[in-house]
Structure 1
Amino acid sequence: MALTLASSIEKCDVFDEPIFDNSIVSLHEHTYKPYGSPSYKNSDEIRIPVHFQDLILDISESYIYIEGKFTPSQIAADGHIKCNLSNNALAFLFEEIRYEMGGEQIAVVRKPGITTSMKTMLSFGASQLPVLLTYGWGLGEDHQDILDDTTHVFSGRLPLKYLMGFAEDYTKGLINVKQELILILARTFKNCYVGDVEANIVIDKIEWKIRHIVPEDRLKLNYAQ
């Protein structure tokens, strides 16, 4: 009865002033590109640095954007492709992924294709499949959602929290620290496709997309102290 009475009082208290949270002025996504001019060949090391230390970065919601071309060596007479991207193909593109902060290694994932496959099978259900498809999970002969059958161009994203546990656990913004993402491409891309024939995979673009958090002026002054 006490709970019911308290709930009734709250419902009748209609003259309280609304509470507005204006601590964040805006959120906008920024693209960070690899250092130099990488060729994206097998076993290449790709470094993506973040030098802006006076910004609040939402690393937990950041992701790696990948774009490339998938060309099977043979296509059937009826136009049917005899080779398709495999399940979790995007993660299998890499041999190792490391995240460094202030020159110190914070997290490293070796064989991300295998580790994320195990994690996804244990942690996700069918309701998350539409989102997981953009990560390359759930791909099959009849589900090539990240691939354009006409141009053979594929594109997708690998969220950092999909790859590394710390990005799931630590959701606060980061400021005043240099960060870097190091990616080592796989020795072979044969784990990225399945079929009766061989295929050629060419990576054209790898970018790290991070949200910048712009706080209100009062909070900016606190951070500057």
Structure 2
Amino acid sequence: MLEELQIFQDPEFDDSIIREEIRTYHPFVKSFANNDEIEIVIYQQDALLLMSEAALVIEGTLVKTNGSTGDIQFTTNCGAYLFDSITYELNGKEVDKVRDPGTVSTIRGYLCYNKNDETLNAAGWNYPESQLVTYDPLKSTFFLARNDRNCFQVSKDDTDGMLTITNIELKVKHVFLNDVLKLKLLTEINKDKPILIPYRQWEYHELPSLTNGTSKEIWSIKTCTNLESPRYVIVAFQTNLKDNKSEDITYFNNLNISNIKLNINSEYYPYEDMKLDFDARKYADAYYMYTQFYKSFASDNNYPILDFIAFKSRTLFVIDCSKRNDAIKTSTIDIKLEIESRKSFPANTKAYCIVIHDRILESLPLSGLVRGAI
């Protein structure tokens, strides 16, 4: 029956949550210098924490050093570039670890954000401009980067800056349930019934340098089990952008790539060659694959943050391999990339690959044990 015709149905009121409050947690140390390790621990055994809405608040100042004559500003997503790696643990079990979170979260932002997202400014994503205070996704252990070169950009070579972090804190939403729902949850907990934690892991890989002077590259990404078989593979390139204060670290070079093929146990994705030519503005196939990723991850009717023109200087190659023949679903998965360009690869060009795959953990509420689901 149509919802509009259910005129005699009683109204329903959701009173399962009686209160929400945000509490702030601080790291054990107050030193936020380069190469420092920052650990934030939450000791809450009987609390319900809405970790998906937690925020890492970073406060600091950026000033020009003596003698600088040019302009200086924060880069987009500058907060994430402060860290070399970020690890999230649950009851001593590593749930996720992200190396180079600046690159990974910037790529994820281009893929999953849209220009109408009201949280972008507060998150340091005032695209294409920048903010001074940033909010990052939740994690628990942070290794500060060896330098701050990727957090700001200068307009002149003689300009430099000094970034000082004054405070880092974690804000977590606590949820309080009504008595009926609380009793129901406690009944299940007393049975020590496993709680499944399904999510998609963004696994980062880096090729330090493409072979200079050639136009083709074969990159063996990894060998994994069928449980970690990829759903999507994201590929990006940067030439002389890392640790270069004069360049925008949030750019990803297109290298006039003509074709990228993903090889999974000798099965190729996409099926046909893309035949791209960025210099001739013939990259519609790559842009279409980029927009389709947003539609598969978002539940709205918006479009991702990059339009067709911006995509040329922030190029992300998205390969959907979520649908595969059962014949190649073996116990061992071999993942390779075949890259072709219309020009020779320039020197100092890095390649990035993010493999998105499913992962399931289970938590036993009475013992606190967290393990991989069988």
Q: What range is the shorter-chain TM-score in?
A: 0.7 to 0.9
Return the alpha-carbon distance in structure 2 between the equivalents of residues 87 and 74 of structure 1: 25
Is the contact made by 2:68 and 2:160 (CA closer than 8 Å) also made in structure 1? no
Paired position in structure 2 for 1:121: 110
Deviation at 1:15, TM superposition (A): 3.7
Aligned to 2:30, the other structure's residue is in SS state: coil
Which is richer in helix?
A: 1
Deviation at 1:20, TM superposition (A): 1.2
Paired position in structure 2 for 1:211: 173
Return the alpha-carbon distance in structure 1 between the equivalents of residues 127 and 8 of structure 2: 53
Paired position in structure 1 for 2:55: 63
The aligned length equals: 184
Within the alignment, does 1:92 sit opposite 2:92 as a pair?
no
Within the alignment, does 1:21 sit opposite 2:9 as a pair?
no
Return the alpha-carbon distance in structure 2 between the equivalents of residues 223 and 127 of structure 1: 37
Higher relative contact order (CA closer than 8 Å, sequence separation 6+): 1
Deviation at 1:159, TM superposition (A): 2.5
Paired position in structure 1 for 2:26: 33
Paired position in structure 1 for 2:141: 182
Is the contact made by 2:77 and 2:134 (CA closer than 8 Å) also made in structure 1? no
Deviation at 1:29, TM superposition (A): 0.8
Deviation at 1:21, TM superposition (A): 1.4
Aligned to 2:183, the other structure's residue is in SS state: helix
Paired position in structure 2 for 1:200: 162
Deviation at 1:13, TM superposition (A): 4.5
Return the alpha-carbon distance in structure 1 between the equivalents of residues 88 and 176 of structure 2: 23
Give structure 1 stretches of 5+ with no counterpart. 1-5, 148-154, 161-179
Q: In 2 relative to 1, CA 218–62 (structure 1 residues): closer, same or farther, beyond 3 Å?
A: same
Instruction: Give TM-score, length-normalised by structure 1.
Output: 0.74
Q: In 2 relative to 1, CA 14–182 (structure 1 residues): closer, same or farther, beyond 3 Å?
A: same
Return the alpha-carbon distance in structure 2 between the equivalents of residues 75 and 25 of structure 1: 57
Give structure 2 stretches of 5+ with no counterpart. 188-374
Paired position in structure 1 for 2:307: none
Return the alpha-carbon distance in structure 1 between the equivalents of residues 54 and 172 of structure 2: 5
Deviation at 1:82, TM superposition (A): 1.2
Q: In 2 relative to 1, CA 193–26 (structure 1 residues): closer, same or farther, beyond 3 Å?
A: same
Is the contact made by 2:86 and 2:101 (CA closer than 8 Å) also made in structure 1? yes
Return the alpha-carbon distance in structure 1 between the equivalents of residues 48 and 67 of structure 2: 49
User: Which amino acid in structure 1 is aligned with residue 101 of structure 2?
Assistant: P
- What percentage of aligned pairs have identical amino acids? 31
Return the alpha-carbon distance in structure 2 between the equivalents of residues 13 and 223 of structure 1: 31
Paired position in structure 2 for 1:102: 91
Instruction: Give TM-score, length-normalised by structure 2.
Output: 0.46
Paired position in structure 1 for 2:137: 159
Is the contact made by 1:98 and 1:107 (CA closer than 8 Å) also made in structure 2? yes
Aligned to 2:44, the other structure's residue is in SS state: coil
Deviation at 1:51, TM superposition (A): 0.4
Is the contact made by 1:85 and 1:139 (CA closer than 8 Å) also made in structure 2? no
Could you say what the CA RMSD is over the residues aligned between the two structures, in angstroms?
A: 2.2
Q: In 2 relative to 1, CA 220–43 (structure 1 residues): closer, same or farther, beyond 3 Å?
A: same
